[in-house]
Structure 1
Amino acid sequence: MLKQIDAVIFDMDGTLIDSMWMWKDIDIEYLGRYGIKLPGDLQKKIEGMSFSETAVFFKEHFNIPDSVDKIKDDWNQMAWDKYENEVPVKEGVFDFLRYLRKQKIKTGIATSNSLELTELVLKKRDLFSYFDEIHTSCEVGKGKPAPDIYLFVAKKLAVRQQNCLVFEDVVPGIIAGKSAGMKVCAIYDEFSKAVEEEKKKLSDYYISSFHDLKQYYE
């Protein structure tokens, strides 16, 4: 898996940290403010979108009167406490990150989340120092499944995309990594267990947790 790999790029939510559950709760609470019931297919529609793209979708689809910036600010405030106190790091993450550092393999974050929440949780969970580049889909043209964010992070890391390994937990993210010409390892997450077979089919590798990677470096 790690042969001829110069950089490993990680999605964050659902990949490094167990946080996908909280966004459904936030969506229910946020839409409830406007008397709107959470549509059953909402997560499928917005999966992979950047934070900004999702705010635009909410504004247009649900006719939210606030500006896109106000919507994002509200979400940041609603998620802040959960990210600070309730979101754990997935098992095996620190061991793998320490190994990558030891091997001088570059590391990056390519997330659809906001930069504010990304930096908050990475610092609170002592992950921040393990990454050479941290970027969000809001910095590029399109969110996942477009390859933009992965190509952007590879460029920032000064590595060729064919020498990058991506870790992702959702289908649009896996497609984004593959479309960028990178190898992709899918990881199990409770939130996306209904599409496990699709994740396995689309990716180059599959792990149930980062502990599974010890066979590659021990």
Structure 2
Amino acid sequence: MKNKMTLKREIFQGIEAVLFDLDGTLVDSMWMWENIDREYLRHFGIELPEDLQVLVQGMSFSETAVYFKERFLIPDSVEDIKAEWNRMAWDKYSNEVPLKEGVLTFLENLKNEGILMGIATSNSKELVELVIAKLGVLEYFGSIRTSCEVAKGKPSPDIYLLVAEDLKAKAANCLVFEDIIQGIQAGKSAGMKVCGVYDKYSEGDTDKKKELSDYYIHSYLELIG
């Protein structure tokens, strides 16, 4: 017998596509990026600024590389910066990054209900494809896009509108899952419903995330009957 999805507060009524951010939303990975940024800047004798993580949230992988190059006067090209970040993160995404609680069961329930799924991430194409294949969830997604493929990263709505277009779903019939304020703003700006997702990394923003979102969960298990 197939598991039946609990339509918590009827949030899936009229929904034809569910769109996910990746880091902090589908996978537990936000913890590693501050360490990577610290190690990367140390190569150039630069201490990690306290405001850096907040300022780059929502930026695409390419936008972040441009920001690093301009702010810290990094001599390497933007492409070389991105390649180095991919190299530094590769082993962690291969071996240390898990799915968040309840994700696999939730994806299976969405599939059983005939709801389309897509990923809209600020991460690099290489890393998103690596981790979702490694974790065995690649088959669930009809569209996987990165913010490098659109004009602007989050909080602009571009990436979510692109994934919805790929899935041939109307924005009003899409539900976005996001863990950061900029991502929630992107989903809302796209005219979509948004469910905020708890993540330890952004725990300090919980009240603001709840305020901006239509719904909020600590775990995907809350959505499964």
Classify the TM-score, shorter chain. Answer: over 0.9
User: What SS is found at the alignment partner of 1:126?
Assistant: coil
The aligned amino acid for 1:118 is V
Q: Which of 191, 195, 198 is the equivalent residue of 1:181?
A: 191
1:98 partnered with 2:98: no
Which residue of the partner structure matches residue 154 of structure 1?
164
Distance 1:34 1:212 in 2: 45
Which residue of the partner structure matches residue 124 of structure 1?
134
Distance 1:170 1:195 in 2: 8
Q: Which of 24, 28, 32 is the equivalent residue of 1:14?
A: 24
- How far residue 127 of structure 1 moved from its aligned partner, in angstroms, is 1.1
Moved over 2 A (4+): none
The aligned amino acid for 2:31 is W
Which residue of the partner structure matches residue 201 of structure 2?
191
1:3 partnered with 2:13: yes
Q: Which of 179, 202, 206 is the equivalent residue of 2:216?
A: 206
Which residue of the partner structure matches residue 84 of structure 2?
74
The aligned amino acid for 1:146 is S
Q: Alignment length, in residue pairs?
A: 215
- How far residue 27 of structure 1 moved from its aligned partner, in angstroms, is 0.2
User: What SS is found at the alignment partner of 1:141?
Assistant: coil
Distance 1:102 1:86 in 2: 29
The aligned amino acid for 1:49 is M
The aligned amino acid for 1:91 is E
For residues 151-182 of structure 1, what are the alpha-carbon distances to aligned partners after superposition, in whole Å with 9 as ceiling and x for unaligned? Answer: 00000100100000000000000000000000
Distance 1:117 1:129 in 2: 16
The aligned amino acid for 2:64 is T
For residues 91-131 of structure 1, what are the alpha-carbon distances to aligned partners after superposition, in whole Å with 9 as ceiling and x for unaligned? Answer: 10011100111111100000000000000000000011111
The aligned amino acid for 2:61 is F
Which residue of the partner structure matches residue 110 of structure 1?
120
Identity score, percent: 61
Unmatched 5+ stretches in structure 2: 1-10
Which residue of the partner structure matches residue 150 of structure 2?
140
Distance 2:109 2:30 in 1: 26
